[in-house]
C-alpha cells in the first residue's frame, strides 16, 4: 500500500520526536492512503510562505495482523472519546504500534471545547467533527514499526 505525508519538507526518515502530542491520535507519524488528502495537508504550509511537499511510502499491510493496532471503522462514540483524550493530552498510554481512523475536521478545537463544556451532546459533536469527503489517517506510534515497515519511495513538491 502507498501512504502519503504532507509537510513543508521531504521526510525520508520519520522521527517521532518532531510529533506534537495533542493531535487526533496523539504523538505519532501521520500518513494517509489518499493522495489528495496529503496534498491538502501540505498546502497548509504554503499558506505560511513555505514550500509544500508530499512524501510517499510503501507500507506492507500484511503486518497489520502481527502488530498492536487500533482501528476505527467509523465516526463512533469510541472514536470521539479517544480523540478527546488525545486532543486534551490525557491519553498518556502508548499501547499501539498503529492507529487507523477518520480525521476530525478543521473545527475540532471549537467543537471539542463546546463538548467538554457540556454545551453540545456527544451525537452533535460527532456530527460536527466528521468530514463530508472520504478520509483516513494512519498514525504510526512506534519508531520500530516506522523503521522496519514504512519505506520512503520518493516525494514531490506542490
5-62: pLDDT as tens digits? 999 999 999 999 998 888 999 999 999 999 999 999 898 887 777 799 999 999 998 9
Joined grid coordinates for residue 58:
510503501
Number of folded domains in the chain?
Answer: 1
Percent of the chain with pLDDT over 70: 94
Query: What is the distance between the terminal CA atoms of the chain, rounded to a whole angstrom?
Result: 22
What range does the domain containing 118 cover?
2-157
What integer best gives the mean pLDDT of the chain? 89
Strand 69-71 and strand 98-101: the pairing is parallel
Q: Which three cell numbers stand for residue 23?
A: 493531535
Strand partners, 138: 31, 100
Decide: helix, strand or coil at residue 55.
strand
User: How many CB atoms lie under 10 A from the CB of residue 63?
Assistant: 14
pTM of the entire predicted model: 0.85
pLDDT, residue 90, reads: 83
Amino acid at each position: 500500500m502507498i501512504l502519503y505525508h504532507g509537510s513543508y519538507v521531504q521526510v525520508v526518515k520519520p522521527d517521532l520526536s518532531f510529533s506534537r502530542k495533542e493531535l487526533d491520535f496523539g504523538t505519532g507519524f501521520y500518513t494517509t492512503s489518499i493522495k489528495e488528502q496529503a496534498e491538502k495537508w501540505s498546502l497548509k504550509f504554503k499558506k505560511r510562505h513555505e514550500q509544500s511537499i508530499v512524501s510517499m511510502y510503501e507500507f506492507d499491510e500484511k503486518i497489520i495482523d502481527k502488530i498492536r493496532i487500533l482501528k476505527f471503522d467509523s465516526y463512533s462514540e469510541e472514536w470521539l472519546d479517544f480523540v478527546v483524550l488525545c486532543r486534551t493530552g490525557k491519553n498518556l498510554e502508548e499501547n499501539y504500534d498503529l492507529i487507523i481512523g477518520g480525521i476530525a475536521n478543521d473545527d475540532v478545537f471549537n467543537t471539542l471545547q463546546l463538548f467538554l463544556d457540556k454545551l453540545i451532546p456527544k451525537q452533535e459533536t460527532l456530527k460536527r467533527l466528521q468530514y463530508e469527503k472520504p478520509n483516513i489517517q494512519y498514525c504510526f506510534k512506534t519508531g520500530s514499526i516506522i523503521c522496519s515497515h514504512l519505506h520512503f519511495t520518493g516525494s514531490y513538491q506542490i
